[in-house]
Structure 1
Amino acid sequence: MVERPTVLVTGLGSYGEQILKALRQPEAAGCRIVGTDTDPFCIHFALVDEAVVLPRADAPEYVEAVLAVCARFGVAAVFPGCEPDLDRLSGACEEFRQRGILWIANPQATIELCRDKLVTGKKLAQFGFEPPKYELVRDAGDLAKIDWYPLVVKPRTAGGGSKDCYIAQSRRELELLLEYVGNDVGLFAQEYVGTPESEFTVGVLLDLDGNLINSIALRRELVSQLNLKTSVVNKSSRAQLGKRLVISSGVSQGEIGSFPEVTEPCEKLAVAIGAAGAINVQCRLVDGKIKVFEINPRFSGTTFIRAMMGYNEPDTLVRRHLLGQTIEPHFAYRHGRVRRSLRESIVAERPARDWRQLADEQ
């Protein structure tokens, strides 16, 4: 236990930025932060104490590089800040533990469960959470099983930021999508439910031992190109879905609060799937019940927004596990409305150091 622990935040060009800004909040514990990214001119390097360029997460030397950075700067804990980093490093978390480095992320089993949408759907039903209808579509024969259009079509295993998500309102559109983005593991076709006004992103925070700490929700306001991935006219016979069918982007804004009608069932869900750390549930509220369409086993793209409201997930875990502080369950935080916009920055002329340079400096 140290007064000012050194932590590593990877993926600063992704949601690692959100973790970084939360840890830099004035009321946060005040960590020394080592930040990494694959881009030597990442604008968020300006906010860290030490900036290091890492190889891509799929590079053979990636884990070696992360461990070298941890050794060089005396890192006490690692925050994976993008999904490739999370997936790759979760398989090496035992190596961190052996070196006395805290892995601030969910267990590998929880990550794998949430990554596979087919497995997630089955688990939701098993735990009593009725998910939207779904079907794995691999070939033309699977198309006949679906008669509940419109639907959202997405990769079975990829996730985050609504990547490669599309809306299909007819069998013909689904056929075209299967031809366009189909792959060996199949496409995940999921019933489109609810309206844009009923969509929430819900954060549930547990400590790294799996004890529930708190939850928070953001009711999305899908009003600009920044927060919309897709918006099409509803041509289906289901008028109750609204005039337009939309898929949100990974950039969320809206009203933040406790919203117990969605946070309470999401807390039960997080505990049921064995979460330990931060978990993010995407859902719509339909007839008083949540319809979960995505679970991200990681810090959210709204992490900093939450921290602004006094719900600082990264700092809470630092205080709990690195500083040994007692955290009050369901601590109070502010409610309010948040808007987001783009911000331009001049990139520093001096690029960050490559991880291989660190050995030469010793």
Structure 2
Amino acid sequence: MPIKTFGLDVSHTAFGLYDCDVFLPTPAVSHKDYVSIVIATCVAHKIDLIIPCIDEEVQLFAQHIAVFTKAGVKVLVAEESLVAMCRDKAAMSRVLNPIVPIFVASYDKRSFAIALLNGEVHFPVIAKPRSGSASTGIQIISNVEDFKSLNEQMIIQELAIPHKNDLDYAFFKQQLEKNINPQVSEISVQIVADQEGNLIGQMMSFNKLKNGVPIEIFPYENEAILQEVSQLYPFLKELGWKGPLNLQGRLTDNGFKIFEMNARFTGITGLRACMGFNEVAVCIQEWLGIRSELNSLDLNMNRFGIRQVADKSIHLQRNQTLKLHSEKLNGKKLKSKKTLLLTGATGYLGRNLIDSLIESNDSFEILALVRDKKKALELLPDKVFCYDVQDLENGNLVLGKVDILLHAGFARPHRSHEELANSLAFTADLFSRAISNQVATILNISSQSVYGQSDLPPWKETATIAPTTPYGIAKYASELLLESRVAQHKHINYTSIRLGSLVGGAKGMVEVDLVSRLVSKALVSEPIQINGGMQLVDRLDIRDAVNAINVLLNHSSMNWKKVYNLGSSTSMLLIDLATLIVDTVATDMDVPRSMVEVHNSKDTQSAGMDSSAFCQDFQWKPKYTMIDCIKTLIDFKNKSDSKLLLN
């Protein structure tokens, strides 16, 4: 997003500081002048919005929201009444259970003793500090002696035991017998409200924790739970709900039971963003008045999360065991459609690929990242969702929702050096964003131009890389950018397709290719002049290219090689190509045959690739011959001429 970030902390070694643009030291939250110092810091640095991230700070800022507002600083926090109830677990249960009975019963020490005598509660139970967080100070209370040892400030809650069909039910019971708090089968419900307290997004995950920190996170869907939770929304709004609110509980034999509630972002907020639910971006847009309807809050159900030193968001295709686990957890098959983000969507390859994907199996939700959104909406099918670079920079295009990035948008070889440089800069930025959001699969369209002329064609992927043009250098640079950026993320799959020159009459064709220009001359019986004639020429029919990429996208990316050649694998001499064009046009169109004039030339540049690796890995082979290509060009040009006459 186009924002400047300031990290405020008492510690100079705070982990998050070094992801911010500026570090501003503060005293400890307990300092008597903490709020006034923070406000003065915000005013001095013209900070528009501050986001408290720890419980003590959330409560303090909520209490002083009027002071922040008077100073012109917005605070992403709920009102004090809601925050205070979140901090007091006994109050949470007492106030909210009469609205929807989904909270575990909570007691202070005296009321628990009475309930125990009346047979209303039974051991084991759980004890925790009244205003604690992150599982600090939690104890399992198994008997009266354990209970008597508790201090008066502890809150005692009934245990939310997983239902008997839960995958971790047996483990949970075993751990309880050892007096260990088993942090498994926890359901986290994250709900987000705008500044008026209206819901703008909700999601659930099924988590396993270690010492209060989620380490395994699976997207979870359960409409019954969301319906129960939604009954709280009007009352939460009255209490001053704004921004994020996290509810933690378990699905028990008696239904969903909540044992924790926090009015702040949580430790897995960043991971949720990598899974499509970027609540921070949406809240910043909401509080700063730049909210866009394009930026909805939805979870990518095709990913799971794991955490150790860093967060990883991984596509479920990487692990079939975990995919089955996720499906069993949710009680249904995962959505079959993958989300494909395509650049170059309005170009020759892009337009025809989109049509093919929609017509063949419609198994992709297609997002197009384009330069001109208005033009794209006119050219592309209604099923395609169009975004421009401004949407990307403003956070309206949520990369966490993307399963596959197909980068085909790049300046053509005949464009200026400046346009090629701009394309390379855009490619570097796009790859960085995609990898930061841990997009599971990246397909980069490169070019045969990377090979140059050091080796004679046909080139294998192991041939010498020695590009002779700025376009070839830029394309090889794009391959290196992708490879180097993915190197530290082994769970991201990628490949670069070194594509041969495309030919054929189809949508988006621009007449710059040699074959197309020669066909145009032959159609009006102009002489065809060629230099040399002994150079090898290789062209791939646009239909074959589209079909090959379609096949690639529908194969698992787990075993992709880092580069593949994709061409026709059938080179021919330039003189033979010119003769074939002249003969085909003259025969098909019944026009006088053009003369082929051969001029002496030192031009010996040839082209041609060996595509056997691609053909073998994906059981694919080209279908169309050069004569087929020429005939589609004839038909396309005739139709184009007819349209011009009608206009």
Q: Same fold (TM over 0.5)?
A: yes
| 2:124 counterpart (132, 146, 150) | 150
CA gap of 1:59–1:290, structure 2 versus 1, over 3 A, is: same
The alpha-carbon deviation at position 140 of structure 1 amounts to 9.7
Q: Return closer, same or farther for 1:327/1:61 CA change in 2, 3 Å cut-off.
A: same
Question: Given that residues 282 and 291 in structure 2 are in contact (C-alpha distance below 8 angstroms), is that contact kept between their aligned partners in structure 1?
Answer: no
**SS of 2:36 mapped into structure 1:** helix
Q: What amino acid sits opposite 2:309 in the alignment?
A: L
Among 228, 239, 242, the residue aligned to 2:210: 228
Could you give the per-residue CA deviations for residues 239-276 of structure 1, whole angstroms, max 9, x where no partner exists?
xxxxxxxxxx1334320244333333233324422222
- 2-side partners of 1:140 and 1:267: how far apart? 30
Unaligned stretches of 5+ in structure 2?
163-167, 169-183, 311-647
| Cα offset, 1:46, TM superposition | 1.4
SS at match of 1:194: coil
Q: What amino acid is the match of 1:261?
A: A
Maintained 8 Å contact 2:190/2:203: yes
SS in 1 for 2:190: strand
Deviation readout 1:167-225 (Å, 9 max, x if unpaired): 1111112222x1xxx14xx321111122255420110011111011111111013xxxx
Q: 1:202 aligns with which of 189, 196, 209?
A: 189
Query: Out of 198, 204, 227, which is 1:264 matched to?
Result: 227
Give runs of aligned pairs for residues 52-91 of structure 1, distance below 5 A: 52-91=24-63
Aligned pair partner of 2:136 in 153, 157, 163: 163
State the alpha-carbon separation in 2 of the partners of residues 140 and 320 from structure 1: 43
Deviations 1:121-167 (A, max 9, x none): 112222122422332105995564664111110112x1320111111
Equivalent position of 1:340 in the other structure? 307
Question: Do 2:282 and 2:295's aligned partners in 1 also have CA atoms closer than 8 Å?
Answer: no
Task: State whether residues 254 and 337 of structure 1, in contact with CA within 8 Å, keep that contact through their aligned partners in structure 2.
Answer: yes
Specify which of 274, 283, 299 is matched with residue 249 of structure 2: 283
1:323 CA drift (Å): 3.7
Contact 1:202 1:215 in 2 (8 A): yes
Q: How many Å apart are 1:334 and its aligned residue? A: 0.6
Cα distance per residue 1:55-92 (max 9 Å; x no partner): 11111120121012101210111100111111112111
Partner of residue 200, structure 2: 213
Letter in 1 for 2:51: F
CA contact (8 A) 2:189 2:248 kept: yes
Between the aligned residues of both structures, percent identity stands at 21
SS where residue 192 of structure 2 aligns?
strand
Structure that is richer in helix per residue? 2
Find the counterpart in structure 2 of residue 20 from structure 1. Answer: none
Post-superposition Cα deviations, 1:17-70, rounded to whole Å, max 9, x if no partner, equal: xxxxxxxxxxxx232111111112223221111101111111112012101210
Q: Secondary structure at the match of 1:87?
A: helix
Structure 1 CA distance, aligned partners of 2:230 and 2:112? Answer: 38
Greater gyration radius: 2
Q: Is the CA contact (8 Å cut-off) linking 2:193 and 2:242 kept in structure 1?
A: yes
Relative to structure 1, the CA distance from residue 255 to residue 294 in structure 2 (aligned partners, 3 Å threshold; closer, same or farther) is same
1:1-362 matches, cutoff 5 A: 29-138=1-110, 144=117, 147-156=121-130, 158-176=131-149, 178=150, 182-183=151-152, 186-195=153-162, 198-221=185-208, 227-229=209-211, 249-274=212-237, 275-287=241-253, 289-327=255-293, 331-335=297-301, 336-342=303-309
Alignment gaps of 5+ in structure 1: 1-28, 222-226, 230-248, 344-362
Structure 2 Cα separation of the partners of residues 330 and 45 of structure 1: 28
Matched pairs, number: 284
SS in 2 for 1:314: helix
Q: 1:331 to 1:340 in 2, by over 3 A?
A: closer
User: Structure 1 residues 286, 208: closer, same or farther in 2, change over 3 A?
Assistant: same
Tell me the secondary structure at the aligned position of residue 68 of structure 2. Answer: helix
Mapped contact 1:320–1:327 kept (Cα < 8 A): no
Q: Is the 8 A contact 1:217 1:256 kept in 2?
A: yes
Is this contact kept in 2: 1:252–1:302, CA < 8 A?
A: no
Question: 1:16 aligns to what?
Answer: none
CA distance in 1: counterparts of 2:103 and 2:300, whole angstroms: 30
TM-score with structure 1 setting the length: 0.73
Q: Give the secondary structure class of the aligned counterpart of 2:5.
A: strand
Does the aligned pair in 2 maintain the 1:310–1:333 contact within 8 Å? yes
Q: State the distance in 2 between where 1:220 and 1:205 align.
A: 19
Which residue of structure 1 aligns with residue 336 of structure 2? Answer: none
Contact 1:132 1:190 in 2 (8 A): yes
In 2, are the aligned partners of 1:201 and 1:220 still within 8 Å (CA)? yes
Which moves more between the two structures, 59-68 or 128-137? 128-137
Shift of 1:315: 0.7
Verify the 8 A CA contact 2:7 2:22 in the aligned structure 1: yes
Q: Secondary structure at the match of 1:114?
A: helix
CA-based RMSD of the aligned residues comes to 2.3
Contact 2:279–2:297 (CA under 8 A) maintained in structure 1: no
* Corresponding residue number in structure 2 for 1:246: none
Partner AA of 2:11 in structure 1: D
Q: Tell whether the 8 Å contact from 1:212 to 1:271 is kept in structure 2 after alignment.
A: no
Cα distance in 1, alignment partners of residues 68 and 27 from structure 2: 18
Instruction: Please give the alpha-carbon distance, in whole angstroms, between the structure 1 residues aligned to 2:293 and 2:123.
Output: 46
CA contact (8 A) 1:261 1:288 kept: no
